[in-house]
A = this chain, B = another copy of it.
């Protein structure tokens, strides 16, 4: 067994790891049987013209992983359990090439709503928070962690929400979860099955699907310029209402203060609850900031939901909800059933990030950035598309809607845009009955300033305006 050709000093991987891999592989393949003696360190070191210690290092790694054992003053012996790779190498399952989905990176200009602008993320600050929290809390990561979420983070969230959204709560009301859908799922189980839930039409399709999956009785409620129609709510008398007041999910309208008060009054009178989903409440552009429903509520009827996906990293997967006191007990119960879904360390990193003021800083920076992008998109649409479209939902959030006054339907508009390298999105899916519309959605957060201008130009060409 001559190993010499397998060692290469010029490779990136160190000598001892090359040695380690060599032996491990030969054990897998059965060339080194259980119990066999490995060459002594000196012998091998001489043969390979390397140091004993290097061989020793390789052997130690093998030993650490349980493949070999040392008999002092006698030698090293292969001692792996068959179970370690009993099934290995007879044939590995072929890894199916699943990535075709990635579609050729044809230079799309993609107005997808979910995208955000990555170039401004404060990497080094985040990284620092991450490392700090690991070094600082290290040993605490072993506790399963609080089911509701780390106390520290919950306190910070409560404080932030109070200052920025007027939400009034204590840390015991905050529940951290791995994304809005998970929290909605938990919420569904807090309520009895088969209750009726008022759902904005159009609204957030994912939420509707989760309600459906939990066999709730969905009552579509129309939305007008001021928000959800109270009249219809009163007619239907659902047990629960799901709304997105600070930026209506599809239409982008902001619920007026009057409408809010009416809705709260109705909920108090009927002992109903309101789910206030403030999924991108951080970003508004005009007018007075309207207080959140939760902040206006006097009767503990509001469940407030928020997330860090839009305003920080979409892939971070940290969201939260605020339970009103009547739901606390049941809420904690259901939550503890699923345990906490966000890793302790992610939570503590975020807490550190917030404590250092980096969060606030980032929000302000992004708000400024998005405000600028919004101005650019509005200006470009005005100039290029002019009279042929009407802009809606432009007062908050990270997207706008275009009502298009052309003889095409939603589908055609999207198809034509696609042929010109621009991805835009339909709104009909947000409606209960997927009615035909002439409206398309443009999320601008993830598109660069120049691409916004160019994208709108391309729309003009695509639609032959």
Seen from chain A, the residues whose Cβ lies within 8 Å of a Cβ on chain B are: 9-10, 61, 64-66, 81-88, 92-96, 98-99, 114-116, 118, 121, 123, 126-127, 130-132, 134-136, 138-139, 141-145, 151, 155, 158-159, 162-166, 168-172, 178-179, 181-182, 185, 189, 193, 206, 209-210, 213, 215, 289, 291, 295, 313-318, 334, 337-346, 357, 360-361, 364-365, 367-368
Contact = CB atoms under 8 A, between A and B. Distances in A.
B170 A96 contact: yes
A82 to B, nearest CB: 7
Given A95-B170, A170-B96, A314 B144 contact: yes
A338 B182 contact: yes
Chain A interface mostly:
helix
The 4 closest A-B pairs by CB, nearest first: A315-B344, A83-B289, A66-B364, A118-B142
B158 A93 contact: yes
Nearest to A89: B163
Contact of A82 (B289, B340, B341): B289
A315 to B, nearest CB: 4
A179 B335 CA distance: 13
B155 A142 contact: no
A315 B143 contact: yes
Contact of A142 (B206, B313, B360, B365): B313
A255 B136 CA distance: 43
B87 A166 contact: yes
A317 B340 contact: yes
A88 B93 CA distance: 58
A237 B382 CA distance: 66
A430 to B, nearest CB: 16
A131 B131 contact: yes
Contact of A172 (B98, B162, B291): B98
Given A94-B170, A166-B86, A169-B93, A179 B339 contact: yes
30 contacts: A10-B132, A61-B361, A64-B365, A65-B361, A84-B164, A85-B163, A86-B289, A87-B163, A87-B166, A88-B163, A92-B159, A92-B162, A93-B168, A95-B171, A96-B172, A98-B151, A98-B171, A99-B151, A115-B142, A142-B313, A145-B315, A178-B178, A178-B341, A179-B338, A181-B338, A209-B337, A316-B343, A316-B345, A317-B343, A345-B346
A423 to B, nearest CB: 15
B337 A182 contact: no
B65 A360 contact: yes
Contacts of A360: 65
Contacts of A340: 179, 317
Most buried by B among A81, A189, A315, A367: A315
Given A84-B164, A317-B343, A142 B116 contact: yes
A282 to B, nearest CB: 11
A4 to B, nearest CB: 10
Most buried by B among A121, A291, A341: A341
A64 B358 CA distance: 10
A173 to B, nearest CB: 9
Contacts of A172: 96, 98
A171 to B, nearest CB: 6
Contacts of A158: 93, 95
A315 B144 contact: yes
